Amino acid sequence: MTDAAALPGQPRGGVVTGPATARAVNVLAPNASAMTLDGTNTWILSEPDSESAVVVDPGPLDDGHLRNVVDTAEKAGKRIALTLLTHGHPDHAEGATRFAELTGTKVRALDPALRLGDEGLGAGDVVVLGGLELRVVRTPGHTADSLCFHLPADQAVLTGDTILGRGTTVVAHPDGRLGDYLDSLRRLRSLTVDDGVHTVLPGHGPVLDDAQGAVEFYLAHRANRLAQVETAVENGYRTAGEIVAHVYADVDRSLWPAAELSVRAQLDYLREHGLI
């Protein structure tokens, strides 16, 4: 879910539909909008020589898209054996139950309400299937249940809505919290510094080749927006709606409702830290 800002970086020729890395293939859902950019990226992950695959974020409840994901895997000689969710927003997770019916897979997620099967997901978990290794990274902030998946063999990270391929994401107040989000961005930065991650496989938008640059941009953007909101309050703007109209005046009005969620999260953060 975009919050509107230009993101510098090196997207690979626009939105990827097809192979993005040696182990990741994207199937783009047909749900493009101002909030979802080009649509939801559903990721099929597998070792090149394995017949088993993991799907991350089957996407909306669109039977054509879900069957397309299955067909894409099967044409590559893969059987989908597990479904994972980055978070519970409908554009990522609404189709999970139907997808599980089509594939016979379990669905693993942080939120118990989204799981199909006994196993959930948590920080530090490692998912191994057909030789593929995914490390679970807890990244609350966009939502309380947001996760990222580190794919070490490709030096990549699947970020869901925590980092997008274009623009910036919304901190979805009240479930999303700015302090948590900033901590999550720093956690992702450590992956780029300490673990050699250089590729972002986002939930929306194109693949990014400069993961560290993307994280640094997001941190700088958040610091700048927070300063703008603090200044707006000092200048007499009181409600979230008033602040959005002032701070986001140059942003398409269709994105103002999302911006208002982020502003509410910023106001909470400023109050918690005694800054307003």
Query: pLDDT tens for residues 139-155?
Result: 999 999 999 999 999 99
What pLDDT was estimated at residue 1? 58
**CA 141, CA 177: separation in Å to the nearest integer?**
5
What pLDDT was estimated at residue 262? 97
Return the residue matching tokens 């099929």.
44
Secondary structure (DSSP) of 60-127: SS-HHHHHHHHHHHHHTT-EEEEEE-S---HHHHTTHHHHHHHHT--EE-SSGGG-BSS----TT-EE
What pLDDT was estimated at residue 9? 37
Which DSSP helix (H) or strand (E) runs through 24?
A: strand 24-28
* 114 vs 251 pLDDT, higher one: 114
What pLDDT was estimated at residue 189? 98
What pLDDT was estimated at residue 18? 77
Secondary structure (DSSP) of 254-266: GGHHHHHHHHHHH
Please provide the average confidence, as pLDDT, over all residues in the chain. Answer: 94
What pLDDT was estimated at residue 7? 38
What pLDDT was estimated at residue 114? 98
Q: Tell me what percent of the residues of the chain surpass a pLDDT of 70.
A: 94
What pLDDT was estimated at residue 19? 86
Tell me the mean pLDDT in the region 20-27: 97
What are the structural domains, with CATH classification, of the chain?
A: 18-210 (3.60.15.10)
Tell me the mean pLDDT in the region 62-81: 97
Beta sheet of 41-45, edge-to-edge order: 18-19, 24-28, 41-45, 52-56, 79-84, 107-108
Q: Which tokens go with 33?
A: 């909008």
What pLDDT was estimated at residue 10? 35
Strand 132-138 and strand 147-151: the pairing is antiparallel
pLDDT tens digits along 25-68: 999 999 999 999 999 999 999 999 999 999 999 999 999 999 99
CB 176 within 8 A of CB 142: yes
What pLDDT was estimated at residue 16? 54
Tell me the mean pLDDT in the region 107-132: 97
pLDDT tens digits along 207-245: 999 999 999 999 999 999 999 999 999 999 999 999 999
